[in-house]
Amino acid sequence: MNLKSKNSIRLCVLAIVALSVTNCTSTKVDSGRKLIWSDEFNGKGLPDSSKWNYDIGGNGFGNEEAQFYTKNRLENARMENGNLVIEARKENWEENKYTSARLLTKGKFSFQYGTVEVRAKLPKGRGTWPAIWMMSEDMKKWPDDGELDIMEHVGYNQGYIHASVHTKKYNHIQGTQKTDTLVVKDVSEKFHVYKADWTPEKIDVYIDNKKFFTYENKEKTGEAWPFDRPYFVILNLAVGGFWGGKMGIDDSIFPQKYYIDYVRVYQNK
């Protein structure tokens, strides 16, 4: 091979390397949005108390749920191997037969408009009801002040992921809630990214960048669109309830673990 040929090959290789580096860089940098809050759950022990509060109790939480939500209890919520693990257990606790946890950023972090991304692997089995959702920081009355459900999964209907909004005009009490479903068969075997894009015009919900639910601000009224105020993020694993327990609770499945790899919130620049 002569020197000219070698130089030509060398230039081609350098060009390919440069192109690859450019492509990698462009996929990582998103100039359209800015990370404003996140938890990567890279520590050990209890969740970061500067980022998360707990709902506590066994009063059914309006959904006839069967668990008692505990606080600062490693058996129910902990960081482990780079994940937040929310664990539902079959055990007696203050007149309830199950324990679990519900973590929320209320009082720690809320935002108005942006993108929420949660990478998670869901529990499995009849009676489990994990969720990723949001409510108004200044919640005075449900559903008037709004609720956005980014992900709900009831264990008796494995793989069916639901996204919904609840408002004064559209909610499940009246049977008017706006909702849609996407079937993802391996939600309990693999991690998937659950995402909501929230703007003044609409809310879009995705799984692994596949959009399956849209709610538009068509009516321009508070009864239909209360999503014009700061909201906080909630992660929980319920047991039973009017929906999750509709087909009963299979006690043989416990303990069940809900793994969250990260929660990231972005706002448009």
Residues with a known catalytic role: 147, 152
How far is the C-alpha of 72 from the C-alpha of 243, rounded, in Å?
27
Query: Could you tell me the CA-to-CA distances from 34 to 38, 208, 209 in Å, in that order?
Result: 11, 20, 18
Burial 243-267 (b: 16+ CB within 10 A, else e): bbbeeebeeebbebbbbbbbbbbbe
CA atoms within 13 A on the CB side of 19: 6
Pair 249, 23: CB distance under 8 Å: no
What's the distance, Cα to Cα, between the start and end of the chain in Å?
53
How far is the C-alpha of 220 from the C-alpha of 128, rounded, in Å?
36
Q: What phi and psi, each to the nearest 5 degrees, are found at residue 14?
A: -60, -40
DSSP classification of residue 127: T
How far is the C-alpha of 164 from the C-alpha of 216, rounded, in Å?
12
Bridge partners, 93 (sequence order): 96
Reference 51, options 267, 264, 269, 266; nearest CA is: 264
Bridge partners, 217 (sequence order): none
Pair 155, 123: CB distance under 8 Å: yes
DSSP classification of residue 124: -
